[in-house]
């Protein structure tokens, strides 16, 4: 597959990409935040274009938002030789890519990820989709963008909580694929992490895995470590008041502790590694309160996980630092035990 990813100032990478192409029209998709803080950086280096702005946040990653995007694309009379440029985090990348992938059976798009989360994870690999009836990424396709243009300078526009959320995916990449890097990052406080180095490291890991298994038939499932329970936690909290909702990475951090415990229970990792993981994650993210009602909803939500087969809920679990196994069946009682362990 060999997806094209460039890590460089956007003022260099975008003109270089456009100079080698000849698109009939260009549409930029942004959310209310990236329209204000990130789009101005691109505005003057783009050819004539239209901007479609949608509300920010996971709660808007829906079919109804897609309809508005498709309506705008139709109004602009985009043909199959047009280009969509997605400027934003994981929500815009997932949804904008999905809209481009199905419009007239597919038009070209590029990702310009502006959050740490999207730069190290969501923009790479061609997974596109939206949430549906409360289930995260329930509708979607695999479709590779023409290019991913990563500029670490965009991180300067982000609040610390957004950076912290993205860091969870970096932790995941280290735990599933690079024990030495895990040792390196856990020795540093959050504020002392080296973001440009870690972005390049995560992109390298994800590209290698995706190149080997582009449509998640096997190895690519390791990228879901922390995500079976993590996605369920994130979805559960989406129904709470806005000030109680979790960012994606915050939920994945919770999921990684729970799923590390499941790995330990299966005798796949040592007590020492489990302790390292939970201490580092708790120090970075703190602990979230989960009620008894939430526990049952979380377990119910795992039944919709995309890795499942029939009624089996399948997990990707660690088998030591830097290694991960997949398609491991976990029961509801085991999940309850792992949540109880997190809650301590």
Give the residue extent of every domain in the chain: 5-157, 160-343
Between CA 148 and CA 212 the distance in angstroms is 19
pLDDT of residue 308: 85
Does residue 48 have a pLDDT over 70?
A: yes
Chosen CATH of 160-343 out of 1.20.1090.10, 3.30.450.40, 3.60.21.10, 3.30.365.10: 1.20.1090.10
With pLDDT > 70 as the criterion, what percentage of the chain qualifies?
Answer: 99
**Structure tokens, 98:** 């999905």
Q: Which fold has domain 5-157?
A: Rossmann fold (3.40.50)
pLDDT of residue 122: 85
pLDDT of residue 134: 85
Mean local confidence (pLDDT), 4-11 = 96
Between CA 327 and CA 333 the distance in angstroms is 18
Q: Mean pLDDT in the chain?
A: 96
What residue has token string 């003057």? 44
Sign of torsion, CA 8 9 14 17?
A: negative
Mean local confidence (pLDDT), 314-329 = 97
Apex 337 CA angle, 333 and 343, nearest 5: 145
pLDDT of residue 3: 78
Please give the order of strands across the beta sheet that includes 50-54.
5-7, 147-150, 108-113, 83-88, 26-31, 50-54
Mean local confidence (pLDDT), 52-59 = 94
Between CA 271 and CA 313 the distance in angstroms is 25
Does residue 2 have a pLDDT over 80?
A: no
Does residue 157 have a pLDDT over 90?
A: no
Helix/strand/coil (H/E/C) assignment for every residue in the chain: CCCCEEECCHHHHHHHHHHCCCCCCEEEEEEHHHHHHCHHHHHCCCCCCEEEEECCCHHHCCHHHHHHHHHHHHHCCCCCCCEEEEEECHHHHHHHHHHHHHHHHCCEEEEEECCHHHHHHHCCCCEEEEEECCEEEEEEEECCCCEEEECHHHHHHCCHHHHHHHHHHHHHHHHHHCHHHHHHHHCCCHHHCCHHHHHHHHHHHHHHHHHHCCCCCCHHHHHHCCHHHHHHHHHHHHCCCHHHCCCHHHHHHHHHHHHHHHHHHCCCCCHHHHHHHHHHHHHHHCCCCCCHHHHHHHHHHHHHCCCCECCECEEEEECCCCCEEEEEECCHHHHHHHHHHHHC
Does residue 88 have a pLDDT over 60?
A: yes
What residue has token string 């260099």? 12
Confidence band of 305 (pLDDT split at 50, 70, 90): confident
pTM given for the model: 0.91
Torsion-angle region of residue 275: left (phi > 0), alpha (psi -120 to 50) or beta?
alpha
pLDDT in tens, 257-276: 999 999 999 999 999 999 99
Are 5-157 and 160-343 equal in CATH topology? no
With pLDDT > 90 as the criterion, what percentage of the chain qualifies?
Answer: 91
Mean local confidence (pLDDT), 171-197 = 97
Confidence band of 1 (pLDDT split at 50, 70, 90): low
pLDDT in tens, 205-251: 999 999 999 999 999 999 999 999 999 999 999 889 989 999 999 99
Tell me the C-alpha to C-alpha distance, in Å, between residue 214 and each of 87, 93, 209, 223: 23, 17, 8, 12
Question: What is the C-alpha radius of gyration for the chain, rounded to an integer number of angstroms?
Answer: 20
Strands 135-142 and 127-132 turn out to be: antiparallel
Torsion-angle region of residue 135: left (phi > 0), alpha (psi -120 to 50) or beta?
beta
Mean local confidence (pLDDT), 47-51 = 97
The packing angle between helices 332-343 and 248-265, to 10°, is: 110
By the 10 Å C-beta count (0-12 exposed, 13-18 middle, 19+ buried), 112 is classed as buried
């Amino acid at each position: 597959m060999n997806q094209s990813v460039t890590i460089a100032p956007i003022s260099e990478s975008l003109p270089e990409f456009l100079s080698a192409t000849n698109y009939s029209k260009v549409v930029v998709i942004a959310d209310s935040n990236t329209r204000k803080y990130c789009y101005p950086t691109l505005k003057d280096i783009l050819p004539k274009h239209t901007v479609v702005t949608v509300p920010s946040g996971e709660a808007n990653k829906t079919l109804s938002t897609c309809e508005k995007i498709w309506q705008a694309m139709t109004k602009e009379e985009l043909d199959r030789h047009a280009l969509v440029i997605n400027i934003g985090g994981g929500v815009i990348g997932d949804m904008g890519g999905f809209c481009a992938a199905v419009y007239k059976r597919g038009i070209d798009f590029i990702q310009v990820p502006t959050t740490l989360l999207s730069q190290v994870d969501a923009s790479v690999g061609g997974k596109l989709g939206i949430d549906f009836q409360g289930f995260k990424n329930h509708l979607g396709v695999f479709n590779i963008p023409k290019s991913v243009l990563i500029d670490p300078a965009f991180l300067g526009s982000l609040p610390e909580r957004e950076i912290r959320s993205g860091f969870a995916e970096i932790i995941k990449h280290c735990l599933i694929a690079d024990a030495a890097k895990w040792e390196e990052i856990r020795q540093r406080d959050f504020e002392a992490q080296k973001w440009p180095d870690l972005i390049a490291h995560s992109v390298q890991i994800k590209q290698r895995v995706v190149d080997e298994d582009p449509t998640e038939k096997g190895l690519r499932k390791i990228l879901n470590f922390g995500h079976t329970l993590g996605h369920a936690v994130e979805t559960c909290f989406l129904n709470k008041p806005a000030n109680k909702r979790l960012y994606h990475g915050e939920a994945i951090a919770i999921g990684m502790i729970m799923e590390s415990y499941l790995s330990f229970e299966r005798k796949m990792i040592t007590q020492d590694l489990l302790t390292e993981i939970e201490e580092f994650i708790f120090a970075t993210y703190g602990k979230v309160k989960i009620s008894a009602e939430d526990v049952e909803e979380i377990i119910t939500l795992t039944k919709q996980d995309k890795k499942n087969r029939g009624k089996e809920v399948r997990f990707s679990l660690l088998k030591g630092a830097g290694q991960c196994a997949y398609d491991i069946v976990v029961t509801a009682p085991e999940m309850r035990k792992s949540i109880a362990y997190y809650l301590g």
